[in-house]
Amino acid sequence: MSFSTSGPLHHLILDDIRGAQKMLSGVARTTAMEGSRHLSSLVGSPVHLKCENLQRTGSFKLRGAYVRISGLRPEERAAGVVAASAGNHAQGVALASSLLGVHSTVFMPLGAPLPKVAATRQYGAEVILHGTVVDETMAAAEAYARETGAVFIHPFDHPDIIAGQGTVGLEILEQCPEVRTIVVGLGGGGLAAGIAVAVKALRPDVRIVGVQAAAAAAYPPSLAAGHPVAIETAATMADGIKVGRPGDITFSLVSELVDEVRTVSEDALSRALLLCLERAKLVVEPAGASPVAAILTEPEAFGGPVVAVLSGGNVDPLLMQRILRHGMSAAGRYLSLRLRLTDRPGVLASLLGELSVLDANVLDVSHVRTDPRLGLTEVEVELHLETKGPEHCAEVASALREAGYTVLG
């Protein structure tokens, strides 16, 4: 593939992405576009979900990895490729390499979820576990490349990678030609940059909105400074878009072509994942649900028709369980209460009877008699309840107070 150049950085053009689309024919799926009635009602205009979580390997990453490895010279293919990733890029590189007959080595952090490690191996890669954070893993992969001659496959900051990801943008315009806003998760920026190049070349009126987790948002300070800025990222459930510094190439394209960058909270991410599961019947990882989180946070900010790109669906089952609980709590579906009761037989049974009448499902009960704050005849009960939403939570707490219970919080 050939790329135009301007200054020190390569800049993609539409023909590059069309070439990538031809290259990916029969390799990457044209993923489904699903409507969301719930999000549409919030926005007041049609909202569609671009389901890259249903792509081969469970994310859009196969697109860029295949285009990048396809472009290697014969001697580079013979040397093999190496990558570093906690999940989606690892699987994309592994499958792309297998399809092209290239040996791949993937470095993954020691704490990578076992299902992602197993999937990467099953796609044909040699997996080496190294480092406790992705930066250490990346450094080990780059050192391996220098020592062995293997080609390092960057997760986002290469023109071929961006061109491959940009094919998502071409599909969006084909599937939803009336689109006015595209919302896409933003980590290193490969997907957002590729989509923006494709879409702005054909429909410059379409608004492109990038979304970052507030705990790992390197683009806002970078855009303010006018160049990539490294930040200290905090813990976030959206590990797929947890990147401490934008790439040089991706930053150039995002700053030029992406109209707005928004950040979303952890609560919003968990509520978005829960909505995708309950309403759309789609398993989406937190990073993939970030566009939905942005829409839920401020639906009036998005002119429709809107396309939200669900970039991936690779989520560890144990993490999914924790996130769903967090999402239900953020949506007002859990209620925790402490009550002080008289310590006599039958009082707890009466309390549970009241909750049954109120249609609140008791998940956990903690019964404390020995706290020095309690009187001789008092007991404190901590309850964890499943409710139907914020209004039901308020109704339960109010009804217990009216029934004479001392509700502490």
Catalytic residue numbers? 61, 311
Backbone angles phi, psi at 23, to 5 degrees: -65, -35
CA distance 389 to 407: 19
Element housing 40 (H / E): helix 37-43
Query: What's the rounded Cα separation, in Å, for the pair 242 and 134?
Result: 10
Residue whose structure tokens are 């609560």: 267
In the three-class reduction of DSSP (H, G, I as helix; E, B as strand; rest coil), residue 404 is classed as coil
Residue type, 119: A
Question: What is the rounded CA–CA span in Å between residue 99 and residue 27?
Answer: 9
Residue 49 · residue 273 · CB < 8 Å: no
- Map residue 148 onto helix, strand or coil: helix
- Phi, psi for residue 38 in degrees, rounded to 5: -65, -50
Token pair 């576009």 is found at 33
d(CA 47, CA 27): 28
Beta bridge partners, 48, equal 35, 307
Tell the residue number behind the tokens 């989520």, with chain if given: 315
Distance CA 191, CA 220 (A): 17
Angstrom distance (rounded) from CA 98 to CA 305: 38
Q: Cβ(144)–Cβ(130) under 8 Å?
A: no
